[in-house]
A and B are shown apart, each in its own frame.
Chain A
Amino acid sequence: MPLTISILTGSNVSIYQQIVDQVCAAIVAGRIATDEPLPSVRSLAEELLINPNTVGRAYGELVREGILESRPGRGMFMSKRRQIYSRAERTRRIEQAVTSLVSQAFMLGFSAEEIVEEVAKKTTELASSSDKPSNGGGSQ
């Protein structure tokens, strides 16, 4: 399936962030071919009915993060050495997820040990089933 981006207004995720997230997700899922250009800023903006500057900034962010690269005259492509998120962004995201997880677990009445145990169990389970290359060791 090719890259399809759909945006939602009224969400607590900004349109800019939705584009960044969806391009990342599409790359992780292997839905973007290396030799195929992404839609141009103008065409994506007109398709989604949003300000082209927003698309431009999202693409710009993805280029800065090393996820996309701009090939002059040809368009925007998936970068060969792909680093999906910057270290700071990865830290921010895991912190957010962990805070939400832990506070919910506490609300449900689990003890600290039980939470750690659940997390460890899931980690082992997912790590063994996944053939994905690890994404954690890279330093920038």
Chain B
Amino acid sequence: MSGANASATARSDHGMSAHSNGRRDMVIETHGLTRYFGGRKAVDGLTMAVPRGSVFAFLGRNGSGKTTTIRMLLGLLEPTRGSSNVLGHDSRQLLPEIRARIGYMSESHTLYNWLTVRQCGEYQSRFYPRWNERIFQAVVGHFRLDPRAKAGELSRGERAGLSLAITLAPEPELLILDDPALGLDPVARRSLLESMIYVTRGAERTIFFSSHLLEDVERVADYLAILDRSVLRACCPVETFRSHVKQFLLRYAGNAAPPPQLPSLQGLLHVRRSVGELRLTIAGANERTRQLLRSFGAASVEETAVGFDDALVGYLGNRGEQGFFLEDTTALETSGVKS
């Protein structure tokens, strides 16, 4: 493992240059992307990049700006400020031939309700020269849809399945899935995961998806971005994210007790107190952090890894400080915490 640390992580507002230094090129890039609805900021200065070939999870609580961002990426909504590029083209001017390379599945699964499953496929296939009927049939089969059923009579999970079949059949280079698992039963969810993993057979194909199902995210995503109250808080490989969030267990013996008021700690996400114990979830802890923790008068300080869900909930919870940013879309070994 190289000792690379701060070198490759400088955040550039000029964007990530494609192909340089063996870096993968980016299928999505945003620069200061911002959107207001009236006086309310829905997305605030979003600068991120999605590498080609990644399975990229776009995370955040409801109302954090994920759908708004996705709509701007696709040119369905004008940004108030900033810009975004998809497949190297400005989102505001996506030509039909570029759009044909993007598969988009919205939260609402817009379908023609009066058409049957089979007719939906036939209708859509006319718009795509690269329509792969085998994929359409496979996904429809996976979700056990009756090809003769009317789209309007399908359950939520079945609609998702049909929607996914329509989205995957043109074999898009970039898949953008807005909360595809919403409302799916466990069987349909599994089919969705299988379909997503199937898509990765094409090494150059990218999946950008939002989700609240952390178990699924942990399984399929290799990159993540976290939006918290319209602001980007992390954008890095999942492994980097995990290795940056640690739990520190401070045990107190006898009459010793944890300090009632903790001094300000860089990257502190979560605090849990119990008798004779203090559990701190901290992002980007370094030697200084450890030194500081040792000064809290505990009998022992134990450092452990945390589960993916705990790490993420730590990020999105209300406690802890907000002023740092975790970024790295270049290499797994490198990592950086911005303050």
Which residues of A are at the interface with B, using a C-beta cutoff of 8 A? 9-16, 42, 45-46, 49-54, 57, 99-100, 102-103, 106-107
Contacts and interface: CB of A to CB of B under 8 A. Distances in A.
A46 B196 CA distance: 10
B2 to A, nearest CB: 12
Interface centre among A11, A51, A52, A102 (most CB of B within 10 A): A51
A103 B307 contact: no
A50 B306 CA distance: 20
Interface string B184-226: 0000001001100110110000000000001100111110000
Given A10-B215, A51-B222, A99-B302, 11 more contacts: A13-B305, A15-B219, A45-B200, A46-B194, A46-B197, A49-B193, A49-B197, A49-B219, A52-B197, A99-B300, A107-B299
Contact of B219 (A9, A13, A99): A9
Interface residues of B, number: 32
Given A15-B218, A49-B219, A50-B197, A107 B307 contact: no
Q: 3 closest Cβ contacts across the A-B interface? A: A103-B300, A9-B215, A12-B305
A52 B200 contact: yes
B332 interface: yes
B302 A103 contact: yes
B75 to A, nearest CB: 29
Interface in B161-196: 190, 193-194
B253 interface: yes
B304 to A, nearest CB: 6
B302 A9 contact: no
Contacts of A45: 197, 200
Interface centre among B193, B218, B304, B309 (most CB of A within 10 A): B218
B296 interface: no
A54 B222 contact: yes
Nearest to B217: A9
Given A14-B239, A106-B300, A51 B307 contact: no
B219 A107 contact: no
B55 interface: yes
B306 A12 contact: yes
Contacts of B299: 103, 106-107
A72 B304 CA distance: 38
B242 A50 contact: no
A124 to B, nearest CB: 27
B251 interface: yes
A16 B239 contact: yes
A37 to B, nearest CB: 20
Nearest to B242: A14
A14 B302 CA distance: 19
Contacts of A99: 300, 302
Contact of A103 (B198, B214, B238, B251): B251
Given A16-B239, A106-B299, A49 B190 contact: yes
B308 interface: yes
Nearest to B300: A103
A107 B299 CA distance: 8
A51 B239 contact: no
A10 B193 contact: no
Interface in B297-321: 299-300, 302, 304-310
